[in-house]
Copies of this chain bind each other. A is one copy, B any other.
């Protein structure tokens, strides 16, 4: 069988306890002993058994990463790999491993999380989303298991560690940006309102309008479900209004391009006839026509910092609640036009 700590102990003429301490690099072991034991470990090609170590030590050095597999746009292509990259980068340098959730439905995810926690599979959990009335999060909070989330929690904000962008502000600034270009009629195509990110971006849009003394007009707000089911029709209705918008804020680059495509089908050009700004700065948005003005939300940092918050919680007994908004950058490209001097 595989070589164990006992084999190493015999070969090095020490006790298993000592070998164990050498593995953990305990300061209580003399340098000579360490060297000798390590030499034997190398020679015997010893590797610690992960499961045995976890069982005895009651920790796993593993973090659970829970993704929302759903159809939510927020978790479409570009977000996921990048946030994972951030988490991995931070995990790797802290000697942590990553256990990924596999469930597809909310119910499956919930069950998985419970079994991760109860079965002691992981030391802490990162939720890669924040959803309204999330049972999974409620559970984690209730049992006081270390966790953090990427996304602002819907409630109890003060009692939960999280990393997010300041979506309300970003959204408000977008309105601001468009207003400075002369736009007074700004539509908004939102995301799935089960997710807090969508709620915040919508809220920021409303606040932005208010600050500029513009009215929120319900016809200017296209809901996620309408956009998905009605497709081009939703855009057509928007543009057929007596006073059609001169600018659109889309909650994601993919959606922005879908809109642009529909507009094109309706013989409306971006940015000549209408301006469009968006969120997330996908890899393609730089190369594609028109190059999209969009907000880079620093996805890598989101993941990286979430992981760091988690280690802090796992390490200490008293749970420190922290949150942080990762800065974002508006990338100005070519999907907006100033209409200041037209009127």
Contact = CB atoms under 8 A, between A and B. Distances in A.
Interface of A: 2, 45, 47-52, 54-55, 60, 62, 65, 69, 75-78, 80-82, 84-85, 88-89, 91-92, 96-104, 108, 114-115, 118-121, 253-254, 257-258, 260-261, 264, 282-284, 287-289
A9 to B, nearest CB: 18
Contacts of A101: 88
B77 A283 contact: yes
B89 A104 contact: yes
Contacts of A98: 99-100, 102
Contacts of A115: 47, 50
A159 to B, nearest CB: 24
A55 to B, nearest CB: 4
A311 to B, nearest CB: 13
A166 to B, nearest CB: 24
Contact of A257 (B81, B254, B287): B287
Given A76-B81, A97-B102, 11 more contacts: A49-B120, A51-B60, A51-B120, A62-B99, A88-B101, A88-B102, A89-B102, A97-B121, A99-B100, A261-B289, A284-B288
A47 B118 contact: yes
30 contacts: A2-B118, A47-B114, A47-B115, A47-B118, A49-B120, A50-B119, A50-B120, A50-B121, A51-B120, A65-B100, A69-B88, A76-B81, A77-B81, A77-B82, A80-B81, A88-B101, A88-B103, A89-B102, A92-B104, A92-B108, A97-B99, A97-B121, A98-B102, A100-B100, A254-B287, A257-B288, A258-B287, A264-B289, A284-B284, A288-B289
